[in-house]
Structure formats: C-alpha cells, structure tokens
Amino acid sequence: MQLIESIPAMKEISRRLQSSGSLGFVPTMGYLHEGHLSLVDASVKENPHTVASIFVNPAQFGKNEDLSTYPRDLERDLKHLQSRGVDYVFYPQASDIYPEDYGTWVDVDKLGDLHCGKSRPGHFRGVCTIVLKLVNIIMPGFMYMGAKDFQQLVILQKMLQDLNLDTQIVPCPIVREDDGLAISSRNTYLDADERKRALCLSQALAHSRQLFMDGMRDSRQLIKAAAEIINNAGGQIDYIECVHPQSLLPVELAEADTRMLMAVYIGRTRLIDNAPMA
C-alpha cells in the first residue's frame, strides 16, 4: 500500500490503474471505524484496485462545528487500510485542495437546503465540492458510500448524474453496534451515560417501522411516536422527517420505501440515523 500526498501523483497513478480494470474509491475523513472499513471491504472485493482518501474537509464544517476537535489518527487509519487490502491512500493537504485563490463551489439545488442543510447551511456545498474534486483526481469507476448519511448519498448521486460523470455510487448498508447504535466517528464524543441514551435513535426508528408494519401510514403519527422515544431519553431533536427516497421531500402517507430521517443531539453531540419503513 502506498500513501500519496500530491494531486499530480495521484492523477498519474489513477490513469495507470484505469488501464487494468475497474477502480474502486472510498472517500473518508479518517478516524476509521467498521462502517468505513465495510465500504473498503466491498470495494476490495469488487474491484482489482482500491483507493481510499483521508481528508478532513474544512468546507463542510460550520463556524460553530467540530473541525478543530474532529478525531484524527493517521497511523491507525493506515494500519486498518493496509490490513483490508487497499492499494493506495490519497492524503492531500488542505492548502492543495483549497489554495488561497480558490473560488469554485458545487451546490445541488433544493436537495442541499433540506433537513441537515437547514441546520448546517453550506454543509452540502462543501461535501459536493470535495467529492467532485476527488472524483476528478482519482477518476474511479465506483465510489462506495454508506447509507447512514442518506441525504448526502442522494445529493451526491444527483450531482454525478447532473454533471454526466461516469463514476457510479455503490450504496452500502448502515453498520451498527451490537446494541443498534449506528457506528460514527462522533460516537467517541459521548460519555457513558450519553452512549446509553444515544440508543434512542435506533429504537425510535425500529418503533416507527413496527407501527408501519402494523398498518400505520400517517407520517405525522409515525414521527410523533419516534419523537416520544427520543424525548423520553433526553435527546434534543433537530429534525425527524418521513421523506421520499429520491426527492427527499416530506410525505404525508408513508410507503415501504419512505425513509425516516433524523438528527438528534445527545448532550452536545449531533447524531444522525435513518431507516426505510419496510
């Protein structure tokens, strides 16, 4: 496995790899967990070559968010990636990605203003910009992304489609702890009590899904049931919505493919989770 830090070197390697079969790509912000590594495993299994990137993207953090405290451990990450069979790790510097005269940004109209976009203005602009830059540098056939940030997944699929890019996104399932908590780098911010209370997200989703299975279709009632569980656990709700899986717009009546999305503060830590109704 090789660590590549320069953009020209990564582009040259990518051109060479393309001639020998499909290239899989896993973009990350580092501090890897089993969620990230499940994406790596899928790419390594399905492609002759896999590139992973590690870049804590400053453009997707708001003014009062956790850029400076976001967990980082490059040595640990490299060991994980090497053990899973990654061929190259792209580790650029922020000054190379966003030089002083940088002025081009990518925004997906409407989708980026919903849900997480309301409480994190500019977040998806930052996500779309870095992902497009990475795709242009690495030129993968397939990019592996988890479904935990479902809104991000839909937005990036739309961006690639609208801009006629050849890279295809391979959605991968949410990876959870044994007790149901969606694995996230931000789980490290939780103390022992908050860690227990954080289970309210997956419990709320499971409860609403069961109500749907039992015949409830009114989204307002499904959301109300989920909110009750979260409130009882002391969570502070940012949003809970039942949405169409492509438009991400709220629906009045839930169907099997309707997605319940939620963002909840447990203490000072903002967690997200989601699930289809069936």
Rounded distance between C-alpha atoms, residue 57 and residue 107, angstroms: 16
Rounded distance between C-alpha atoms, residue 38 and residue 62, angstroms: 28
Average pLDDT over residues 251-275: 98
Average pLDDT over residues 170-193: 97
Residue 8 has pLDDT above 90, yes or no: yes
Q: Rounded to whole angstroms, what are the CA distances from 187 to 17, 110, 183, 233, 266?
A: 36, 29, 7, 16, 10
User: What sign does the CA torsion over 153, 156, 162, 163 have?
Assistant: negative
Q: What letter would DSSP give residue 198?
A: T
Assess contact for 186 and 70: CB atoms under 8 A: no
Average pLDDT over residues 209-237: 99
Average pLDDT over residues 113-128: 96
pTM of the model: 0.96
Domains of the chain: 2-172 (3.40.50.620), 185-273 (3.30.1300.10)
Chain mean pLDDT for the chain: 97
CB burial of residue 215 (10 Å; 0-12, 13-18, 19+):
exposed
Question: Is residue 36 annotated as a catalytic residue, yes or no?
Answer: yes
> Going edge to edge, which strands form the sheet with 236-243?
236-243, 259-266, 269-276
Rounded distance between C-alpha atoms, residue 120 and residue 63, angstroms: 10
The pLDDT assigned to 18 comes to 86
Average pLDDT over residues 205-229: 99
Active-site hit among 36, 49, 115, 123: 36
Taking only Cα atoms into account, the Rg of the chain, rounded to an integer number of angstroms, comes to 19
Residue 230 has pLDDT above 90, yes or no: yes
Residue 19 has pLDDT above 90, yes or no: no
Band of residue 21 on the pLDDT scale cut at 50, 70, 90: confident
Q: 101-140: string of b/e by CB count within 10 Å (b at 16+)? A: eeeeebbbeebbebbbbeebebbbbbbbbbbbbbbebbbb
- Looking at the DSSP bridge assignments, the partners of residue 90 are 4, 53
Q: How many CB atoms lie within 10 A of CB 190?
A: 19
The pLDDT assigned to 64 comes to 82
| Torsion angles phi and psi, residue 218, rounded to 5 | -70, 115
Q: Where are the alpha helices (DSSP H) in the chain?
A: 7-18, 34-46, 74-83, 94-97, 116-119, 123-138, 150-162, 192-197, 200-213, 219-232
Residue 76 has pLDDT above 90, yes or no: yes
Q: What letter would DSSP give residue 69?
A: T
Separation of CA 119 from chain center: 16
